[in-house]
């Protein structure tokens, strides 16, 4: 019942927003009436395609669901840019009105420019999202770092979202790139999948090829909880990952020791109270002489509890760096950090922009990344 009510609200809101775009742009287009009707038809198709993409997740046929997603999700990305640009156009027209400046030519020119620029952004964003994530190297300065851990390499991948538009070939390319880096350890910081084990197990098989000196460690993200978390924990461990659920392991590297801890997703308690995220429990019993205490936590907002628990470094994802405008501004309302290396009290926090994407295959000014973190002595 709740899902049906939600879907009805999406239908109504989507129609209203498409209607707004049509009423604000189509009358000002410097074209004849038949072309204006064509523009109206394209807006109607956009609304229908987006609804199909949302409804596709409920279909039993995975092939049909994926095909509908490939139609609807790019349309969703184009609509997002079209809506934002239409709003910005209206603001500019209002400013011209306040300034008592003639805006007739601007009305016609901008009515053409807005959809063209939205299509350009969508195309560029598609190319950015679908290409292999670049390798980003980050040096993390650590006070009193043991010589044995100088240059210790952690390769982080996050937020791949294997699902309707991200399949095995995409994952294979990521795994190949990660293995070339010859890391000391691999950290997978959640939202690896966006669908059930039954639908996606064949497409996550490349994870079994991940290779690092001390292995691959993973934590759950919110999308694992939306996709059947217990099934995915079993499947990931079958593929060779160590899933850290409010727990830690100790890695001996030369004559130094490194604590690697992981917590369930920050929101896990909403799905299952027994799965509540708990950084303090994750570090409990860790050897006090360990030089580095690393926490894998899907969401950056675990940082407050991680700092109190005495961690040295937290690796997170979830934000996608905003993925594309204007969502980068909304991320900042929920998370303390959007991307990159930041300091939270005595804790370093690195937030990945993600290695895949979610929803529309679109990335603007927020490139995907495979992160190579090097521990180095501070000073």
Over residues 257-286, the pLDDT tens digits come to: 999 999 999 999 999 999 999 999 999 999
Residue 46 pLDDT:
97
User: Which CATH number covers residue 293?
Assistant: 3.60.21.10
Mean pLDDT of 34-47: 97
Closest CA to 354 of 326, 334, 331, 329: 331
> Do 296 and 333 belong together in one domain?
yes
Residue 234 pLDDT:
97
> Do 309 and 197 belong together in one domain?
yes
> Do 126 and 138 belong together in one domain?
no
How many domains would you assign to the chain?
A: 2
> Do 125 and 155 belong together in one domain?
no
> Do 120 and 245 belong together in one domain?
no
| Residue 197 binned pLDDT confidence (cut-offs 50, 70, 90) | very high
Containing structural domain, residue 182: 134-377
Distances (CA, A) of 65 to 53, 171, 194, 346: 8, 20, 13, 46
> Do 195 and 96 belong together in one domain?
no
> Do 229 and 340 belong together in one domain?
yes
Beta bridge partners of 372: 137, 155
> Do 372 and 234 belong together in one domain?
yes
Residue 4 pLDDT:
72
Q: Of 112, 130, 148, which closes a domain?
A: 130
In the chain, % of residues over pLDDT 70:
99
Mean pLDDT of 1-11: 76
Mean pLDDT of 129-150: 97
> Do 210 and 354 belong together in one domain?
yes
> Do 307 and 265 belong together in one domain?
yes
Residue 2 pLDDT:
64
CA-CA distance, 100 to 104, in Å (whole number)? Answer: 12
Residue 306 pLDDT:
98
First to last CA, the chain: 59
Extended strands (E) in 90-203 = 134-142, 153-157, 185-188
Mean pLDDT (the chain) is 94
**Global pTM value:** 0.94
> Do 292 and 326 belong together in one domain?
yes
> Do 196 and 336 belong together in one domain?
yes
Closest CA to 351 of 379, 376, 328, 378: 328
User: What pLDDT digit, counting tens, does each position of 65-99 carry?
Assistant: 999 999 999 999 999 999 999 999 999 998 888 87
């Amino acid at each position: 019942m709740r899902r049906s009510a939600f879907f009805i609200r999406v239908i109504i809101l989507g129609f209203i927003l498409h209607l707004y775009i049509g009423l604000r742009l189509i009358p000002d287009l410097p074209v004849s009436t038949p072309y204006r009707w064509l523009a109206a038809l394209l807006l109607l198709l956009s609304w229908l395609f987006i609804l199909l993409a949302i409804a596709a997740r409920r279909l039993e046929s995975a092939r049909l669901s994926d095909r509908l997603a490939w139609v609807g999700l790019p349309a969703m990305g184009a609509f997002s840019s079209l809506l934002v640009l239409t709003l910005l156009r209206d603001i500019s027209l209002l400013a011209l009105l306040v300034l008592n400046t003639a805006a007739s030519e601007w009305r016609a020119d901008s009515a053409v420019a807005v959809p063209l620029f939205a299509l350009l952004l969508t195309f560029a964003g598609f190319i950015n999202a679908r290409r292999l994530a670049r390798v980003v190297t980050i040096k993390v300065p650590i006070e009193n770092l043991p010589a044995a851990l100088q240059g210790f390499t952690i390769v982080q991948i996050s937020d791949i979202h294997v699902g309707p538009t991200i399949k095995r070939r995409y994952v294979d390319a990521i795994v190949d790139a990660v293995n070339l880096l010859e890391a000391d350890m691999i950290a997978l910081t959640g939202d690896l999948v966006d669908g059930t084990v039954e639908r996606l197990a064949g497409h996550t098989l490349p994870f079994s090829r991940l290779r690092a000196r001390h292995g691959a460690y993973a934590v759950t993200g919110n999308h694992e909880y939306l996709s059947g978390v217990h099934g995915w924990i079993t499947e990931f461990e079958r593929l060779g990952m160590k899933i850290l659920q409010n727990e830690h392991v100790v890695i001996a590297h030369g004559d130094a020791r490194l604590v690697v801890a992981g917590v369930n997703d920050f929101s896990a308690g909403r799905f299952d109270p027994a799965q509540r995220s708990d950084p303090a429990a994750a570090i409990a019993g860790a050897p006090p002489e360990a030089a580095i205490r690393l926490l894998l936590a899907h969401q950056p907002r675990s940082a407050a509890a991680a700092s109190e628990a005495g961690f040295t470094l937290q690796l997170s994802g979830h934000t996608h760096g905003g993925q594309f405008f204007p969502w980068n501004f909304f991320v900042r309302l929920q998370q303390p950090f959007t991307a990159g290396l930041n300091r939270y009290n005595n804790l370093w926090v690195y937030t990945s922009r993600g290695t895949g994407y979610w929803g529309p295959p679109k990335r603007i000014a927020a490139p995907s990344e495979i992160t190579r973190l090097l521990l180095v002595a501070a000073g």
